[in-house]
Structure 1
Amino acid sequence: MTVLGVLCAVRGAPEEDVVMSLEGAGPGVEVTRRCADLTELLAAAGAGLGRIAVVSGDLPGLDREAVALLSSCGVTVLAVVDPGRPWEREKVQALGVPTVVDLVAPDPDGTVREPGGTGADVVTAVRRLLETVGGAPGRLEGAGTTTARVDATAPTPSDPGELPGDGQMVVVWGPTGAPGRTTLAVNLAAELAALAGPTVLVDADTYGGTVAQLVGLLDEAPGLAAAARAAGSGVLDVATLLRLAPVLSPGLRVLSGISRADRWTELPASALEVVWELLRVATPWTVVDTGFCLERDEVLSYDTRAPSRNAATLSALEAADVLVVVGGADPIGIHRLVRALDEVGGLSPGARRVVVANRVRAGTAGPRPGPAIRQALERYAGVTDVVLVPDDTAAVDDAVLSGRLLRESAPTSSARHAIELLAADLVETRTCPGAAGASAAAPGAHPRPRGRQSRA
């Protein structure tokens, strides 16, 4: 028979009732550790001492990251909440807790007003979970989401998994060497907002995010970090998320990044997953500017609770609907781009990939840079369709100096025109999934007709 280890971290008087009821639940259930706080609970879970954690809904420190850590240890969380505080139940459900049990308060003489009581309800819920274990290691799949006194299947405004969101998430990534990720992301978001309606631009670069400075938001608060904190605490909803993203121009909002690189610990993947899902609900288009590094901190891999330096970039790539990979259009940039395409290949499953060569100019790629770049990428990376963004240094410099978008400061810029074509292609592809992609033309050439190779 499978013996289910239960870790108990219930606060106050109900703790004794819960533990005694579990101890008397019969074969198959055993309380392996009574934990005084969340730290002890995480340590016991990491040591493999239990498969279910029974916790108080108001356990100090309990957040989405803690629930994710417990889940990564193969532990399913069951929360005990006070029915007189409905927000407590909503909070733990928003944290991803699958099963919730109401406390049953005793009469002053010590007797329970309802048959069974809190401990009996916990035992019932634990036995339901036990039926799903079957002795297999790892996370409990198909764990029950209801108990005798609660309906945990009802969606709440803070539970993005239950909200109908079909917004598109466009992630802009590129290798090291400053290939123009942020410039492309900012102006692509602006063009999408003009062509397809409300768009949110997100700065998820944890090394040197400059989206806010690029668009003139110099006194910004780190909106993404605030959203991640709210998501980690289970209080983030669409209205709160939009309040954190000020309007930059009609249809375009900006969720600014961290103000210093050493604040990267404020962006855990477990919280950002909620942010990405709510953005799908909040807006038709989301454009995310990411950092260059894809390392998974292998030196710290022995400590599964250590935060990941690149969690923001990796979680965005995993959630992407469209992955825009941008590289510099010079020999070094193309070399890095070829290697980067191989490196990023499996990080965005199911996403449409768009390859962009930025700052295309004859001085670094020959008299006919377009065909030269396409030939190199097709030969060494198997890329047959590449978007070429011409080098328009004067227009880009003027936009940066004035803190404006290219469509505002240089609407006739060749770089702006190429990004506009890319945005139009993304919109058309979403509307007509079978439509062929289009690339921007190289300097001095006309835009490539759909489905045909450019002769630039």
Structure 2
Amino acid sequence: MTAPLGVVVAVRGDGEAAVVAEIDAHPGLAVVRRCADLAEAVAVARAGLGSVVVLSEQPHLDADAVAAIRAAGAGLVGVADGAAPRLEALGIPPARGSLADAVLAAVARPAPDFAPPPERGGGAVIAVWGTGGAPGRTTVAVNLAAEAALAGHRTVLVDLDTAGASVATALGLADEAPGIAAVARAAARGEDAASLLERHLLDVASRLRVVTGLTRAARWPEVTAPGLERLWPALRAAAEVVVLDLAAPAEAAVGHGAGPRRDGATLAGLAEADVVVAVGGAEPHQLVRLVHALLDLEGPPPVVAVNRIRASVAGTRPEDAIAAALGRHAGVTEVWPLPWDLRACDAAARDGRTLAEAAPRSPLRRAIASMADVVIAAARAARDAPATVTD
């Protein structure tokens, strides 16, 4: 005799008793656990105690919980009195008609991915990434975004540095704004990502808007890959150019381990980007870090920018020496040299302004503006390139 199929129930409210009764009335089904909350349901699924989890809408139901249940090999069925847009957005098919039939169907076929926004948008995504040790990633990201806006592109700058967000400080914005945490968290719950962005984008200049970063680095688990996956299409729809300020790799910039990762936002941003700008410092120890980071980075070759170049740390012809070193040790064929320009950077930092505003004629501003033209063109070309088909 075949054992009945185990069902985990995590239904809130008065409807739970009816759900349990209907499942137990079917000869091929049996309720193995009635869970007090979603966390218990996830734990039970991970323990392999049920083949299907029956859920209702609840406050902590999000894409992370759905992904955890799916990863455990359990099917998903939703229950609701009426329309269930959040369940459907998260890829949990609501039972229409017989609940028992819906449970059996969930075992026979995998649940679909949670629904993306209707339009991906045409914006190009540029990720500014690089080594640890403060080589100037945020300085490059902020001013690259500012130059894109000055060139006439509708631009969104997103602070995705989950280790030390600083875009708000660099631009003189209030750092208590909800920013990326609120947007990613709500997107992971299945809320409309485009509406979320419109509520949280801050206008800082003509054609330049910002999503601020985490107010505390300890909040990094709120910015998860499922939330970001739903956010990318909305960002591309909100702007012609999207610039991501990413943290240096906390672990390695390759691979995905099980469970949340502190560098998960960095990995997600690198994977989504049409072009990656890898920023390193000109000091010898920073160049060593940059070489290691470039060798670990997967995907197309990045645009390499070396910041704070000066003869005092790299010799009389620092640009040539650095380009030769990176070519020899990391296979880099082209380097964008960003000169040491302490006075301009200090003026911008003091007033919370971009280089174009604080020091428009500075050598660093001119170098970033030149690089921005090339990077934006490359990002648009990569965005429009046909997808590579692999076996």
Alpha-carbon shift at residue 126 of structure 1 (Å): 2.6
Query: Counterpart of 1:70 in structure 2: which amino acid?
Result: I
Match 1:275 to one of 219, 224, 231:
231
Aligned-partner Cα distance in 1 for 2:340–2:166:
20
Q: Which residue of 2 aligns with 1:101?
A: 95
Q: What are the residue-to-residue correspondences of 1:51-200 with 2, within 5 Å?
A: 51-57=51-57, 59-83=58-82, 86=83, 89-94=84-89, 96-102=90-96, 120=98, 122-132=99-109, 140=110, 143=111, 159-200=115-156
Q: Which residue of 2 aligns with 1:8?
A: 9
- Asked if structure 1 preserves the Cα contact closer than 8 Å seen for 2:175 and 2:212, the reply is no
Structure with larger Rg? 1
Cα pair distance change 1:429/1:12, threshold 3 Å: closer
- Asked if structure 2 preserves the Cα contact closer than 8 Å seen for 1:212 and 1:220, the reply is no
Q: Which residue of 1 aligns with 2:307?
A: 358
Q: Which residue of 1 aligns with 2:281?
A: 328
Tell me the secondary structure at the aligned position of residue 99 of structure 1: coil
Aligned-partner Cα distance in 2 for 1:144–1:207:
33
Structure 1: 5+ residue stretches without partners = 103-117, 133-139, 146-151, 153-158, 436-456
Tell me the secondary structure at the aligned position of residue 169 of structure 2: helix
- Asked if structure 2 preserves the Cα contact closer than 8 Å seen for 1:203 and 1:257, the reply is yes
Cα pair distance change 1:130/1:229, threshold 3 Å: closer
Alpha-carbon shift at residue 361 of structure 1 (Å): 1.4
- Asked if structure 2 preserves the Cα contact closer than 8 Å seen for 1:200 and 1:252, the reply is yes
Q: How many residues align?
A: 379
Aligned-partner Cα distance in 1 for 2:301–2:154:
21
Cα pair distance change 1:63/1:130, threshold 3 Å: closer
Select between 200-209 and 2-11 the one with higher mean Cα deviation: 2-11
Q: Which residue of 2 aligns with 1:45?
A: 45
- Asked if structure 1 preserves the Cα contact closer than 8 Å seen for 2:77 and 2:106, the reply is no
Alpha-carbon shift at residue 383 of structure 1 (Å): 1.0
Alpha-carbon shift at residue 199 of structure 1 (Å): 1.0
Aligned-partner Cα distance in 1 for 2:262–2:37:
27
- Asked if structure 2 preserves the Cα contact closer than 8 Å seen for 1:4 and 1:130, the reply is no
**Partner deviation per Cα, 1:48-79 (whole Å, 9 max, x = no partner):** 1223211112x342223222222232233221
Q: Which residue of 1 aligns with 2:200?
A: 244
Indicate whether 1:262 and 2:225 are aligned: no
Structure 2: 5+ residue stretches without partners = 385-391
Q: Which residue of 2 aligns with 1:429?
A: 378
Query: Counterpart of 1:5 in structure 2: which amino acid?
Result: G
Aligned-partner Cα distance in 1 for 2:47–2:383:
51
Cα pair distance change 1:224/1:177, threshold 3 Å: same
Select between 9-18 and 310-319 the one with higher mean Cα deviation: 9-18
Match 1:319 to one of 241, 254, 272:
272
Aligned-partner Cα distance in 2 for 1:2–1:324:
56
RMSD: 2.7
Aligned-partner Cα distance in 1 for 2:324–2:228:
38
Alpha-carbon shift at residue 209 of structure 1 (Å): 1.5
Higher relative contact order (CA 8 A, sep 6+): 2
Cα pair distance change 1:430/1:326, threshold 3 Å: closer
Cα pair distance change 1:199/1:291, threshold 3 Å: same
Query: Counterpart of 2:85 in structure 1: which amino acid?
Result: E
Give identity over the alignment, percent.
Answer: 42
Match 1:385 to one of 334, 353, 359:
334
**Partner deviation per Cα, 1:170-217 (whole Å, 9 max, x = no partner):** 111111111110100000111112225111111122222111111111
